[in-house]
């Protein structure tokens, strides 16, 4: 079957009846559709795709995995809604010469001050709208905090999440999302296949014996890729604040590449480490090596 909405549920139901169920991405089915689109053409394309020796299948998720992903999708939705309201507040208040500092924390603090009767001197109609938006912003922020607390409690029950949290730049949210999605990491031959599954490997457009590598493919789930990039961006920020305890490889990368490109490269490397941690059941322990009078950190996987 195609891996679509409710496909994992039906895969579990059919597996309980004794069937061997295979799920694969919809994009792989489209390649075998000859002309037009109908139910008969789709079935024929599925039958042809499943016979390919190099076909990649999607592992069937359990109810526990889908429950954790349920939590992640709800949190992601509320985070986007919180961002929309904070941007709306900034845009509306700018018309009255009121500027909110950058960052979601500053917007939430301003909204709390408004609810504590510290409303700015604006017309009554605008003040009423401001209070309503502030209520929504604070309520969404508290709901996100509750979801993140639930994620941390859920993460303690999964040993794989605890292993992933030993990787620098991988927090509880990122570790929980990866563990709930990847299933068995041994289905990937190496770390590069896992990085390609996340869409962090460059596109290969080689021709005529000349190798041409472009931007990253951005295939796969955007949510997990964004979590990894956010974690690596935070690592780069910490490296600038604490230059005495930095990654020598990342420092050399920053000297040659822009910050955003360096974050993508670090996310790609972290994906390799994630695969090694999950397949070998080992945790990542940072070590330090001295070079030119400074202490640089490098990673090493150690048996848990």
CB 147 within 8 A of CB 71: yes
Q: Which of 116, 131, 155 is the last residue of a domain?
A: 155
**Run of H or E residues at 96:** none
Residue 57 covered by a domain: no
Please report the pLDDT score of residue 294 as a whole number.
Answer: 44
Q: Is residue 298 located within the same domain as residue 229?
A: yes
Residue that is last in its domain, among 119, 140, 155:
155
Q: Does residue 136 sit in the same domain as residue 170?
A: no
| Inside any domain, residue 11 | yes
Q: Do residues 176 and 147 share a domain?
A: no
Percent of the chain with pLDDT over 70: 92
Q: Both 185 and 140 in a single domain?
A: no
Are 234 and 136 in a shared domain? Answer: no
Distance CA 304, CA 291 (A): 28
For residue 230, is it within any domain? Answer: yes
Q: Are residues 165 and 130 in the same domain?
A: no
129 domain-assigned: yes
Specify whether 146 is located in the same domain as 174.
no
Could you report the per-residue pLDDT of 149-179, keeping only the tens digit for each? 998 888 888 889 989 988 888 988 999 999 9
| Residue 95 pLDDT class (50, 70, 90 cuts) | very high
- Sequence length of the chain is 304
pLDDT value of position 246: 67
Domain assignment of residue 55, yes or no: no
- DSSP H helix total and E strand total for the chain: 12, 5
98 shares a domain with 20: no
Residue 295 domain flag: yes
Shared domain for 117 and 136, answered yes or no, is yes
Do 86 and 193 share a domain, yes or no? no
Range of the domain at 190: 159-205+216-303
Number of domains in the chain: 3
CB 35 within 8 A of CB 70: no
Domain assignment present for 44:
yes
Residues 295 and 169 in one domain: yes
pLDDT in tens, 226-279: 999 998 988 888 777 776 666 777 777 888 888 888 889 899 999 999 999 999
Cα–Cα distances in angstroms (integers) from residue 120 to residues 88, 111, 127, 131, in the given order: 16, 11, 8, 11
**Gap between the Cα atoms of 4 and 235, Å rounded:** 35
Together in a domain, 267 and 173: yes
* CA-to-CA separations, 114 to 80, 104, 121, 234, in angstroms, rounded: 22, 15, 11, 30
Q: 283 lies in a domain?
A: yes
| Euclidean distance between CA atoms 230 and 158, whole angstroms | 23
Angle at which helices 222-241 and 172-182 cross, to 10°:
150
| pLDDT for 235 | 85
């Amino acid at each position: 079957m195609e891996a679509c909405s409710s496909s994992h549920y039906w895969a579990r139901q059919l597996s309980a009846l004794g069937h061997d169920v295979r799920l694969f991405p919809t994009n792989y089915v489209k390649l075998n559709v000859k002309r037009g689109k109908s139910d008969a053409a789709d079935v024929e394309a599925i039958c042809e795709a499943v016979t390919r020796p190099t076909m990649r299948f999607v592992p069937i998720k359990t109810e526990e995995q889908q429950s954790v992903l349920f939590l992640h999708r709800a949190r992601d939705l509320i985070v986007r809604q919180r961002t929309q309201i904070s941007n709306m507040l900034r845009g509306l208040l700018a018309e009255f010469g009121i500027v909110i500092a950058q960052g979601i924390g500053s917007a939430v603090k301003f909204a709390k001050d408004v609810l504590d009767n510290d409303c700015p001197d604006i017309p009554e109609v605008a003040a009423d709208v401001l209070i309503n938006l502030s209520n929504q912003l604070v309520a969404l922020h508290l709901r996100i905090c509750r979801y993140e607390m639930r994620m941390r409690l859920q993460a303690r029950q999964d040993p794989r999440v605890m292993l992933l949290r030993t990787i620098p730049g991988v927090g509880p949210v990122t570790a929980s999302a990866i563990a709930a999605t990847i299933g068995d990491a041994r289905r990937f031959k190496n770390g590069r296949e896992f990085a390609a599954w996340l869409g962090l490997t460059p596109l290969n457009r080689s021709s005529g014996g000349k190798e041409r590598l472009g931007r990253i493919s951005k295939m796969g789930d955007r949510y997990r890729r964004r979590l990894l990039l956010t974690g690596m961006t935070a690592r780069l920020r910490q490296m600038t604040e604490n230059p005495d305890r930095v990654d020598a490889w990342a420092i050399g990368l920053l000297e040659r590449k822009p910050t955003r490109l360096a974050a993508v490269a670090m996310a790609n490397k972290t994906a390799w480490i994630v695969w090694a941690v999950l397949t070998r059941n080992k945790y990542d322990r940072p070590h330090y090596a001295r070079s030119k009078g400074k202490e640089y950190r490098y990673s090493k996987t150690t048996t848990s």
